[in-house]
Structure 1
C-alpha cells in the first residue's frame, strides 16, 4: 500500500437506506484524499443522470465504517486501521438541515428549566417564577407561587381550553397547576411536600397520571398527578396554609448517596435517575427496588432516555457526553462525545430521530449531535452569552435552551424530507 494515502485510488460503492436517493450499485474509483463535500458532488451528479425527477441538489452525510465522515477518507480509514485496497462501502443519508435561530425570550433571572408542548413553552426561573410563552415568543403569563428558584417544569396535558403542568423548586415543594387558556389565568391546585431538601428535577409519566421528583435529600418521590383533591385533607387539619390542596408522596425511592440530578420515565413502571454520586439507577416503581445500577466516573448532571434506541445519554462533570446501553453485556458505554469545554449540564434526545440529541453546557454552548459522529457535533447552536442550564427537544420542530444570560433561545429544526 502506498505510504502517501492522498495519492491512493479507492474503489467505493455507494449504498443508502433512503430508497428515493438510491444510485446504481456499481463501484466508482475516487482519490482517497476526498472529503464529504466531494462525495456529495459525485452522488448528486449520479442522481442527476439516473433520477431526473430530483431537480435540486441534496445535501448528504456519509457513513464510513459506521461513523460519519468528518475528515478525508484516507485519514478516516487510517484511524480505523482499514486497508484502502478493498472496495469500500459508503452509506449516504440526507443531512439533517441546520436549525435556524428564532425568538429569544427575555427573563429577569437565570432560566433553569424549559419544556415545550405543541405551540407552548414553559420556563422556570431563579427568581422563583414560572412563565408561559407561545413558540412565536409571546409572553402569556408570569406565575408566582414558589419561594425559591424553580428547578423543573413539565407539561402534563393540554386539552381544549385547559392545560395542566407541574413544577418543582428549591423551596422543597412540587406544585400542580391548571391554566385556563381563554381566561389566561393559572391556579395552583395541589402542593406536594415530602422532600427534606430542595428539589432538583421533575418528570411526568407518559400516561400523565403520576410524576417523579428528585432532590438534594438524595431521594426520589413518586406522586399522583391527579388534579382533584384525592387525599381529601380537610383545610383545618393542615399544619400551615398551602396553595391548593396538600399532598404527600405515594412512595419514596431511596438509594442514591448524593443529590438526584435527573429523573426520566422509561415506561409506566420503570424510572431512570442520575445523581452526583456518579450513579445511574433504573428503578422498579411498583416494588420500590433497583432493577439496574450503572457506575460512571464523575457526577452526572443530567440523563435522558430514548424509547427509539433504548439508550441513555448523560451529561457529566468531566465535559463529556456519553451514551449507555443498559442491555449491553460487554461495555455499557457505547460512545463518548467530546467537544464541550466546560461541565455539560443538560442533554435531550430527539423524539423522532434515534441518532440525534442535544447537549448544553457551562461553556455557553448548545450542540446538536449525531450519535455516529462522536468528536464533531453536527451543529453548534450559538447565541447564549453565559452558562446554559437546560435544553429541550420535546417538540420535534423546536430546539429550546435556557441560560444564565436570562434568556430562552429557540431554534427551528426543518426536517429533512426523508427521515431515517
Structure 2
C-alpha cells in the first residue's frame, strides 16, 4: 500500500472566474496537498500562461461543494470518495478579511441595530433610539420608550425617509419618522396590543406591514403606514407620551401558537412570516389567512434567525453553540441541512449578507463576532475581534459594512474589502 505522503491524486482545476482560468488539463498532485499549496500551484500556472499576471492572488478551493480546510486526501475521506477518481477542484478568489473601521460608544448596552447606505440605526438598554453615520458620527438620539429597546428596523432600507420601528419591554412598538435633511426623528405612532415586553420586529418586503413578537408569545401584524389612520380603526393619543403627536395603533391581526417568547421575526415574502421562539420551534405563518403553514421543531430555545432571499434558506441560532441552516419551504424543511460550530457559548444573533448567498455573520455570548461561508461549516472565514462584552446584535444590510453591538455599550464597524 502506498504511503499517503507519497500518494498522488489526479485533479482538474476549474473556475467560474474566467479572468483566472488556467489550462483545463488533468494534473497529478500529492494527496496531502492543502489549500496553501494549491494556491501556490494556481498562481504558478497563471504566471506561466499569462505574462500580464504579476501580482499573486489568494484563492479558496471548493471540493465536493465545501471549502477545503484540510489536506485533499482527508477531505475526500471525510466524504467517502475514492482517491482513484479525478477530482474537480474549483478555485475562487478568497473573501478578504474585513477591516476594523470604527467603534461607536453608547451610554448603555446596544441590543438592536440596522444599517442603510448612509446611516446606522441603534436601540439601547437606556430606552434610546439613535441614528449614526456609517463613519461613527451621532446624528440624533431620543428616549420615547419607557423601558429597554430590544430591536429596531428601517421600514424601507432603500428609502430611510420612510421611517423606522422600535420595540421595547414597555409593551409597545413605535413608528418613527426620519427627516435626514433636518437630522430629525419624531415618534409618530405607538403600536399597542402586546401584554408583555416586545422582543422582535420585522417589516414586509413591500414595506406595508410590520410584525412584532415578544414575551406574551403572540405574533401581531400592523400597518406600517406613517399616515395617521394607516388603514386602522380610530386612534387615540397616548397618555404620558413626551410627544404630543404620538397616537395609538391597534394590530391588524394576532396569531397565536407559540408557547414561549418570540425571539426573532423574518418575512419570507409579503405574505409569509417566519418566527423563531424560545419554545424550541420555528413557525411559518400565512399573513393573509392568519394561520400556521408549517413548523420546525428543534432541541433548544431559538435565540435568533435570518432569512436569505438569495439562497431561500434560513439560519437560526439556539441556546447552544451551534448555528443551523434550514430550507423551510422544501418538503424536508424541518431537517437541518448544515450545522456551523465555532462559538464557545450561546450564539445570540445571526444575519445573512444581503448581497452574497453564501456569507453570513454571527455574534455570541463568548464576545465573538464571526464571518461565515456556508461552504465551510466547520470553521468561520474570520473572527472579528473587538467586543469586550456579550454580542447582542449583528447586521450586514449595507454591503460595505459589517456591524455588531453588545454589552460593552459599543457598535463595531468592519469594512467589507470584497465588494461585488
Instruction: From 347, 351, 376, give the equivalent of 1:348.
Output: 351
- The separation in 2 between residues aligned to 1:94 and 1:282, in whole angstroms, is 36
- The separation in 1 between residues aligned to 2:6 and 2:212, in whole angstroms, is 59
Instruction: Name 2:368's counterpart in structure 1.
Output: 365
Please give the per-residue CA displacement for 1:252-290, whole angstroms capped at 9, x wherever unaligned.
111111000001111011111100011011110010011
Deviation at 1:19, TM superposition (A): 2.0
- The separation in 2 between residues aligned to 1:353 and 1:157, in whole angstroms, is 20
Contact 2:190 2:248 survives alignment (8 Å):
yes
* Segment of structure 1 superposing worse, 181-190 or 151-160: 151-160
Please give the per-residue CA displacement for 1:44-82, whole angstroms capped at 9, x wherever unaligned.
111122233443222110012221111111222222222
Instruction: From 365, 373, 380, give the equivalent of 1:377.
Output: 380
Deviation at 1:241, TM superposition (A): 4.6
- The separation in 1 between residues aligned to 2:383 and 2:374, in whole angstroms, is 15
- The separation in 2 between residues aligned to 1:159 and 1:369, in whole angstroms, is 25
Contact 1:127 1:148 survives alignment (8 Å):
yes
Instruction: From 247, 263, 266, give the equivalent of 1:264.
Output: 266
Q: What's the TM-score, normalizing by structure 2?
A: 0.95
- The separation in 1 between residues aligned to 2:69 and 2:49, in whole angstroms, is 27
Alpha-carbon distance change, 178 to 239 in structure 1, aligned in 2, over 3 angstroms? closer
- The separation in 2 between residues aligned to 1:6 and 1:167, in whole angstroms, is 59
Q: Secondary structure at the match of 1:353?
A: coil
Contact 1:6 1:74 survives alignment (8 Å):
no
Contact 1:384 1:403 survives alignment (8 Å):
yes
Please give the per-residue CA displacement for 1:159-191, whole angstroms capped at 9, x wherever unaligned.
889451110001000001112223222211101
Instruction: Name 1:275's counterpart in structure 2.
Output: 277
Contact 2:323 2:339 survives alignment (8 Å):
yes
| Alpha-carbon RMSD | 1.7
Deviation at 1:234, TM superposition (A): 6.0
Q: Secondary structure at the match of 2:177?
A: strand
Instruction: Name 1:396's counterpart in structure 2.
Output: 399
Instruction: Name 1:19's counterpart in structure 2.
Output: 18
Contact 1:302 1:345 survives alignment (8 Å):
yes
Instruction: Name 2:307's counterpart in structure 1.
Output: 305
Instruction: From 286, 295, 298, give the equivalent of 2:297.
Output: 295
Instruction: Name 2:119's counterpart in structure 1.
Output: 120
| Structure 2 unaligned regions, length at least 5 | none
Contact 2:210 2:224 survives alignment (8 Å):
yes
Q: Secondary structure at the match of 1:46?
A: helix
* Segment of structure 1 superposing worse, 7-16 or 372-381: 7-16
Alpha-carbon distance change, 98 to 318 in structure 1, aligned in 2, over 3 angstroms? same
Deviation at 1:123, TM superposition (A): 0.6
* Segment of structure 1 superposing worse, 44-53 or 390-399: 44-53
- The separation in 1 between residues aligned to 2:353 and 2:36, in whole angstroms, is 26
Superposed counterparts of 1:10-409, under 5 Å: 10-157=9-156, 162-230=161-229, 231=232, 233=234, 235=236, 240-242=239-241, 243=243, 244-330=246-332, 332-409=335-412
* Segment of structure 1 superposing worse, 242-251 or 127-136: 242-251
Q: Secondary structure at the match of 1:42?
A: helix
Deviation at 1:325, TM superposition (A): 1.2
> What is the aligned length?
414
- The separation in 2 between residues aligned to 1:292 and 1:276, in whole angstroms, is 17
